[in-house]
Structure 1
């Protein structure tokens, strides 16, 4: 003990360390009485000298004349060979005999520093500068083809509509690209004027209304939009420039070309090269994408992994129900369950990402009622209304809402029981802020939106979310670039596929009452092409009582659903869509209530008793 006290005293009374040429001169000034003998004091001083010499030797500064070398190479990065050239059959490069009745595309070296691309199913040719090193992507060629690099994306699709070209551009395809309020409120600006002279852009009059941005690509009447978004500082987004050129070739047919680049000035010549070389050729064959889809399962907790495995092997339907505020007040749900003599094993409710995490609602469903929740999380705030034309999807991509997303991830992690997380459904439509039509007509923005949120959940340690990708049954607008497959986030990011088709009735003149088979036979056929390796859930559905036989529709539902064994869960949307026009807001345009009439409840009760209904998902 006396030794340690002496050591500390000597160390604390040490005055200074002065640097010298080849080391350090250590000067000790021992002040005061230490209460130890001279022998111990000398021993401690010698010990300290040895320690300091050892330490300073480790950090000794080399002489100025010693050359310091680095193992890091400062040679410029050498890019690998750019070899996209070849003949592609159904999206795969081949040297075998070609079948032009299928999907044949050619990529050739033109010999003048350009790449010549010939697309037989779509019937066009273009040239691309080889120095841009754009890689082809034919994975969803049934919707569009793309050429990509880190700074450039060119997407081309061929579209068929029954509309007048100008009418379709202004009222549908380019509605938000042409909205000054929308652009201004989302930090965007129109740069079309810089292309006016090159492509002779002028106003075009249709139905006595003058519209901007029309010109010619070659001899073809075309619509031009060039827009730049100001990206928030610190965002991982880099490609904020969007050029849209829609080329009408007559008879309701047009080509849609999207240029998404980091900088218009840098890639202006590339854009002009593509447009100047655009050429229509004879069509041969059909588009066949080469995408293959199969879920890559995450590291779930034991309960969630077990539920997913049961769903995958399940024979039968676990029925679910949505009723407004049902997760808070089960009065209506209890009433329906009593009438159909069935406890729904799935409950569905909606939340926006800026809302509080519904911990109490999830606990009540799971602990008190034995239900799994299908939680529909909308990545927006303020609903899908106008909201001053602001679209917070861009803010999510820029990272502005990461704290909200982390709050949801923490809440779900703390809940710790399985949840079917249906994220931003019906994206291939016109009525959601995260729809492609509101995102520069670019479904890739939705893909990045989904992945951004998924990655945060993964980083926060969420191991109980089963992610459900749920497009609408029909694409609105009905164009190929808006095909549902263009929104698919990827095998790592999706574990279940959601289906939604309503028999909406004929209250509106543009809608029809569809039979159950009319709704689901084509939808199942479409999804089997892509997602046969996934379990499916009908995320929400129902039948209107306006314009058809709703009772028979319910009976047919129980008759034909066993033909679709991929469907494991089906959630009835027991509510109504109201006519929001003028003063009609109290009129139910699409009455979808299951409890609307006694015969509907009885038809459902009889169907459940036929033995295809699963009573619980928690076993």
Structure 2
């Protein structure tokens, strides 16, 4: 009897979705004929008049369909009147949504041919690396533009509220240097089957006017209180005027002598140390205790990976790692002292299996994973962890749907914003030597504009010695770091990236006597 009621409910819901979709399709001409009420948004706020020198959006309202005119991005599109519009990340995307369906619209300028952009973004899905079911994969022409359609479905995830597990990715090629990408997500295939063609057919390119502006709302609210000790660390190290240095030394804390010897050479005691963990690592209590015995605060990184398993995003959100994550959280709780907890860093790089590149191109699933793990920690009473959110300075692929801000889990879930930008040098073809200010001036300028209310830390960084003057780079880092007032803690990554058995990127700060001396002299100004 219970099963019958369940099936009956599903049938009722499906019928409602079909009726809604049919009504949408049959009322297109009627909606177009109705006089429209006009809403104007300038820089994300409602306004009385358009201003084409600023970020202007106009919504012409109808009984069934609204028409959105996005002037900075140069397009207009019709969408269901019950959808709300989010322009808070206007330089990146515009989002339309109701309770069953969400649409993300990106204007993508290109420095590659359109097929390279489209095929690279879709590759994990079309090759089967992303374990989804492809519904449609075709190319057509709509309104004179070449359009690539890729539809797919993944399993429903039990720990994603109102999970939208059916996708349609539509790339509208308007020139060899410009594509508009629409990503639809819904819980109902019939809704998408009616909605997607309708919206795509209504899409039109218009003249671009004005410029984009972020319209994000800021909050320093935290969803649950920190321990007194964690609050003290936050206030002492992240809200004062002083800056502090930390280090990654791969042997620490299992072996303390190498770091102790380095500190002696540099005449400086690093307060913060970086440690990496994954699903293949032991629980972190022993690591934390060993570091604490040396008077270090750990930047504890958890990357939700396991050797040979690929992306685990779907598995995590299905609860398959709950036991391990709860045990990990309890280990932090049992340690008791403050920890900088960095979860799934550099997520906007496709070298990370937890990047949206490997899970339906859906950055919302990264956010869902972050919030889910955050909630598990909260349930285990972890109030001694300061949560550090940390993209890479360059997104790869450098597409707007993979923009770092699309991964932001929200102010309530982030205590510290992390910055990471390396001078990788020139060992590999295509790499460029980047000066310290070349990396961090634009990065800091953007982050301080987008996150004026959060303290920053450089979670890891360094310079290769291949391709330029590493000593000069280090001198610049120490000379100019104090200009970045929101950056409170900086972590040198004292290691090597290997190309097989060859050192490719040598980031070590004890590489040569000249490098050691440059670091030693620089640290004296931060004691």
In the alignment, structure 1 segments of 5+ residues that lack a partner are 1-82, 194-212, 580-584, 614-619
Q: Does 1:178 align with 2:93?
A: no
Residue in 2 that maps onto 1:482: 402
Within the candidate set 115, 135, 139, 2:66 is matched to 115
Residue in 2 that maps onto 1:199: none
Q: Does 1:215 align with 2:215?
A: no
- Give the drift of 1:577: 1.1
Residue in 1 that maps onto 2:356: 436
Residue in 1 that maps onto 2:502: 587
- Give the drift of 1:553: 0.9
Residue in 2 that maps onto 1:275: 200
Q: Does 1:338 align with 2:264?
A: yes
- Separation in 2, partners of 1:572, 1:381: 26
Residue in 2 that maps onto 1:92: 45
Q: Does 1:189 align with 2:133?
A: yes
Residue in 2 that maps onto 1:402: 322
Kindly indicate whether the alpha-carbon contact (under 8 Å) linking 2:167 and 2:184 is maintained by their aligned counterparts in 1. Answer: yes
Residue in 2 that maps onto 1:20: none
Kindly indicate whether the alpha-carbon contact (under 8 Å) linking 2:393 and 2:420 is maintained by their aligned counterparts in 1. Answer: yes
- Separation in 1, partners of 2:38, 2:365: 29
Within the candidate set 289, 298, 314, 1:373 is matched to 298
Residue in 1 that maps onto 2:486: 566
Residue in 1 that maps onto 2:239: 313
Residue in 2 that maps onto 1:151: 100
Count of residues in correspondence between the two structures: 491
- Give the drift of 1:476: 1.3
Within the candidate set 388, 405, 417, 1:497 is matched to 417
**What secondary structure sits across from 2:241 in the alignment?**
coil
- Separation in 2, partners of 1:596, 1:501: 20
- Separation in 1, partners of 2:158, 2:257: 49
* Alignment RMSD (CA, Å): 1.7
For each residue in 1:98-140, what CA deviation from the matched residue of structure 2 results, as whole angstroms up to 9, or x when unmatched? 21111111111245x211111111111111133xx21111111
Change (3 A) 1:178 1:84: farther
Change (3 A) 1:327 1:484: same
Q: Does 1:357 align with 2:283?
A: yes
**What secondary structure sits across from 2:251 in the alignment?**
coil
Q: Does 1:542 align with 2:458?
A: no
For each residue in 1:134-156, what CA deviation from the matched residue of structure 2 results, as whole angstroms up to 9, or x when unmatched? 11111111110001122100000
TM-score of the aligned structures, taking structure 2 as reference length = 0.90
Q: Does 1:164 align with 2:113?
A: yes
Change (3 A) 1:234 1:475: closer
Kindly indicate whether the alpha-carbon contact (under 8 Å) linking 1:129 and 1:273 is maintained by their aligned counterparts in 2. Answer: no
Kindly indicate whether the alpha-carbon contact (under 8 Å) linking 1:123 and 1:282 is maintained by their aligned counterparts in 2. Answer: yes
Give runs of ≥4 in structure 1 deviating > 4 Å.
232-237
- Give the drift of 1:236: 4.3
**What secondary structure sits across from 1:546 in the alignment?**
coil
Change (3 A) 1:269 1:562: same
Change (3 A) 1:232 1:529: closer
- Give the drift of 1:599: 1.0
**What secondary structure sits across from 1:155 in the alignment?**
strand
Q: Does 1:464 align with 2:384?
A: yes
Kindly indicate whether the alpha-carbon contact (under 8 Å) linking 1:380 and 1:393 is maintained by their aligned counterparts in 2. Answer: no
Kindly indicate whether the alpha-carbon contact (under 8 Å) linking 1:316 and 1:565 is maintained by their aligned counterparts in 2. Answer: no
- Separation in 2, partners of 1:286, 1:271: 28
**What secondary structure sits across from 1:595 in the alignment?**
coil
Change (3 A) 1:290 1:234: closer
In the alignment, structure 2 segments of 5+ residues that lack a partner are 1-35
Residue in 2 that maps onto 1:230: 155
Greater C-alpha radius of gyration: 1
